[in-house]
Structure 1
Amino acid sequence: MTQPSVLLIRPREQALTLQQQLLERGIYSDHYSFIDIVANDAAAELLPVYQGQHWHGIIFVSRNAVDYACQWWPQDWPATQYFAVGPGTACYAAKAIQQPVSCPWQQHNSETLLTLPELKWVNQQQWLIVRGLGGRELIADTLRARGAEVHYWQVYQRRQKTVDGAQLLQAWQNSITQIVVTSAEQLGYFLASLPQHALSWLQRCHWIVPGERIAGLIPFSSGDRITMTGSATDSAIIQALTKGS
């Protein structure tokens, strides 16, 4: 049996699609998520308020945000501007809510989203950010600084899994040479779960990450062992993994 050479650290649903695409290109991979995603039941209490509000714009930060929002708000989303950080979430949201969803098309991150013209001139506007509990405050802080009133609808929450790091290391260290991670939180839990002697293996691996923010959280790997894709989309990750192969 062929051993996997790539470790995908991302939620199972996202990893399986990417895993199949890599297999079609002759790349064997394993996947693992250090986080369980569950509904934030408190979000249901805010639904009547948010459904009755006039929004100048609504932002989905992830596919999980779309999934859990649509559990409570399955149809009749208002006719307004919708945005997402990247094209994967944008396409997913557009199908779910039956509305056009815009996103940046070069770099897929919060910083680039905030450069879109529609998010620059927001004085006295009402904006809703659909996300999980916690996370970065950059989008909300920037929109508020530009004069908008911003509300969060936090529809899901993350729970760290209890894992046997030594057992995982034993399964991976002899074959895994490349690690894909697209979430700072997943990266933190991954590193915290492994025993100290995993350091030498982690230093040998090549890392595939979306951008500088996550790259900067890898404390032990030199720059030539980190590839920044500019996006967390499957196509960007596949391009990075197949480059030069």
Structure 2
Amino acid sequence: MKFAITRPQGKGETLATELAEKGILALCTPVLTLKRVDVSQAQLIEICEAEILIFISQDAVLNFAAQLEQFAMSLPASNQLLAVGQQTADAIQHHFARCATVPKQQDSEGLVALPELQHVDQTRVALIKGRGGRAHIAKTLKSRQALLSSCSVYERLPVKEVSDDWLDHWMEAQIDGIVVTSNAAVDAIFNCHQPALLRWLETRYFVVVSERTAQHLKIQFKITDKQIALSAGADNQSLLMAICKLTSQQGSAMTEKNQEATTSVSNQNMEVAPDNVSHSPKTKLSKTAVVALLVALSGIGATAGLFLYDKQQEAQQFSALAELQQQNQQLQVKLNTALSALNQLQSKWPEQEQALAHQFAEQQSQVTARLQQALLKARQQVGGALSSELRSLARYAEFKAVSERDYLGSVLVLKRLQQALSQESGTDALLLAISSDIAKLQAQPQPNTEAVYMELAGLLAQIDSLPLKTIEKPKEAVQQSAELSTDVNDWRANLSRSWQKIRADFLTIRQHDKPVIDPLLDAQEQQLIRSQLRSYLQQAQSAFLDGQSSVYYAAIEGAEDTLDRYFKLQSAASASLAESLNQLKRSELGTHRDVQLATPAALKEWLQ
């Protein structure tokens, strides 16, 4: 047998490979495509707040997880998760790292039979699914009084508007069975405009994953039970077992038919009479009568089938009508109860309104009395609280100015003291003392700390490029050639060259225009000198920040002395550094004079 797998793109290839390993040919023909349906953040929040979350398929898990990630949301750990099948549970484990409950019968009927969904009265349940699917689950949960919220995160759409091309291709490939996993796939492949192709399709075998899809094939398209093979689940292993079982059954049926045909031929051969045996004439049946009989039987069968189908439809309609009537009765009871409660509230409202007005008047009088008492106590306490606050502000301002020498901070505290005294009377002398202290503090010299600090930092960066006091050796004089001439007349020159060569082997005489003094410092000593200059400048930085004038000036003088002793002052860099040190030496560090504030004494006098 050959099978056509109609699952969406990327979901049927593995099953086709496993069938090929079993010797069964399979053709992957995706008839549906999945499209994501966007969900608002408010709806996602409502779904996450549900107590039970039901995931219908792997695609529902995938699209729901993607939309949660889009809004930077996560699934709460308090939700109870249910999955229709094992593959859906595996997808939940992959995306949410959570375990989901799976029914033994992996379909809608098995899901609603779980113990977790038996008592869900007033329980918030969220159904995460594809658009238009799983109406049985929603209907069952609503009948159990669950607070159901449905969230459609994807939808199945046919790849083509009509199925003529698919059916024509399958007919040419001699497809015997078709694997369908949803009602939408069934509707897509039966959407055919050619009656011949539709008649061929109605004779095929169908492998389905749920009883719901099997009933859809039977009712809508008149497919018989013998043509339908029900899989235990939607996973590849269950489908593979169902297809293998169907293939085995069809193989056995074909073997039995061949045996029956062989037996029939043998019996016919044995019944052939010899030539000398005479046969009595037999009465022949009219062809018209046979056709009429067949037509009559067909009509009777069709009439009986239609009658049974109408009875089934009528029974279903009566059942649905009875259920609706029962629901209407329940709603009517609830409505009557609500109306009765509303009438009772309306009758009691005037009495309650009077009681509330009386209670409000009593509470208002009590609050007024308590407020008067609180104001009286506050007036009694405000004197002591205000005096404590004013003393604290004056002491803090004096501490900032004298101890910390933070004149700006002291000014801010004194301004706060001015604001506290703005509502008091007889404070002219005190306010005058505060203004005088603010002016005195603002007149205190403030050294330009940042400029001096940055100037010293710039000098530190120049130390490595300053040239030291070293004397370069003059270049050696070019030696004359010591080769002897072959000319006899040059005997004197040859004699002089021979003497110079002999003397050079024992004595080395070099002549220079000025006395030679080798550099007095090696590389390590030069680095130590530069480190000493850098240490003086860093010490000056620290002393300046701490206000230690004697240490600051001593460090500047030490830096000048080091620069003068070991560095070339003729170079531009050294001369610029010396000039900067001279300017820093003349800059004022900012002397801190003792500041006496008049505010504490004036405040003490005003309080007395």
- Which band: TM-score by shorter chain? 0.7 to 0.9
Segment drifting more, 175-184 vs 228-237: 228-237
**1:177 equivalent in structure 2:** 176
Equivalent residue for 1:15, pick from 12, 29, 36: 12
- Secondary structure of the corresponding residue to residue 158 of structure 1: strand
Q: CA RMSD in A?
A: 2.1
More strand by share: 1
Q: CA deviation at 1:43?
A: 4.4
Q: CA deviation at 1:164?
A: 5.8
Q: Distance in 1 between matches of 2:25 and 2:46?
A: 47
* 4+ long deviations beyond 6 Å: none
**Structure 1 residue 87 and structure 2 residue 75: aligned?**
no
CA offsets, 1:29-72, max 9 Å, x none?
A: 11223222111124455224434x2x211000111101100111
- Secondary structure of the corresponding residue to residue 185 of structure 1: helix
Structure 1 contact 165–195 (Cα < 8 Å) conserved: no
| Runs of 5+ unmatched residues, structure 2 | 252-608
Structure 1 contact 169–194 (Cα < 8 Å) conserved: no
Segment drifting more, 36-45 vs 84-93: 36-45
Q: Distance in 2 between matches of 1:194 and 1:81?
A: 46
Q: Distance in 1 between matches of 2:62 and 2:8?
A: 13
CA offsets, 1:4-52, max 9 Å, x none?
A: 911011112221221222122222211223222111124455224434x
**Structure 1 residue 60 and structure 2 residue 55: aligned?**
yes
The change in CA–CA distance for 1:86 and 1:194 in structure 2 (over 3 A counts) is farther
Structure 1 contact 210–230 (Cα < 8 Å) conserved: yes
Q: Distance in 2 between matches of 1:45 and 1:76?
A: 14
**2:406 equivalent in structure 1:** none
Q: Distance in 2 between matches of 1:177 and 1:228?
A: 16
**2:490 equivalent in structure 1:** none
**Structure 1 residue 195 and structure 2 residue 194: aligned?**
yes
**Structure 1 residue 30 and structure 2 residue 27: aligned?**
yes
More helix by share: 2
Segment drifting more, 135-144 vs 89-98: 135-144
One-letter amino acid of the structure 1 residue matched with residue 230 of structure 2? M
Query: Which is bigger in relative contact order (C-alpha 8 A, separation at least 6)?
Result: 1
**2:36 equivalent in structure 1:** 39
Q: Distance in 2 between matches of 1:170 and 1:158?
A: 23
Q: Distance in 2 between matches of 1:82 and 1:66?
A: 11
One-letter amino acid of the structure 1 residue matched with residue 64 of structure 2? A
Q: Distance in 2 between matches of 1:18 and 1:115?
A: 29
| Runs of 5+ unmatched residues, structure 1 | none
- Secondary structure of the corresponding residue to residue 153 of structure 2: strand
One-letter amino acid of the structure 1 residue matched with residue 18 of structure 2? Q
Query: Matches of residues 103-122 of structure 1 in structure 2 within 5 Å?
Result: 103-105=102-104, 107-122=105-120
The change in CA–CA distance for 1:143 and 1:168 in structure 2 (over 3 A counts) is closer
**Structure 1 residue 225 and structure 2 residue 227: aligned?**
yes
TM-score for both structures, normalised by structure 1: 0.88
Segment drifting more, 126-135 vs 221-230: 221-230
The change in CA–CA distance for 1:144 and 1:203 in structure 2 (over 3 A counts) is closer
One-letter amino acid of the structure 2 residue matched with residue 27 of structure 1? I
**1:208 equivalent in structure 2:** 207
Percent identity reads 28
One-letter amino acid of the structure 2 residue matched with residue 5 of structure 1? K
Q: Distance in 2 between matches of 1:49 and 1:203?
A: 44
Q: Which has the larger radius of gyration?
A: 2
One-letter amino acid of the structure 2 residue matched with residue 8 of structure 1? I
Q: Distance in 1 between matches of 2:225 and 2:129?
A: 31
- Secondary structure of the corresponding residue to residue 11 of structure 2: helix
Q: Distance in 1 between matches of 2:113 and 2:64?
A: 25
Structure 1 contact 179–208 (Cα < 8 Å) conserved: yes
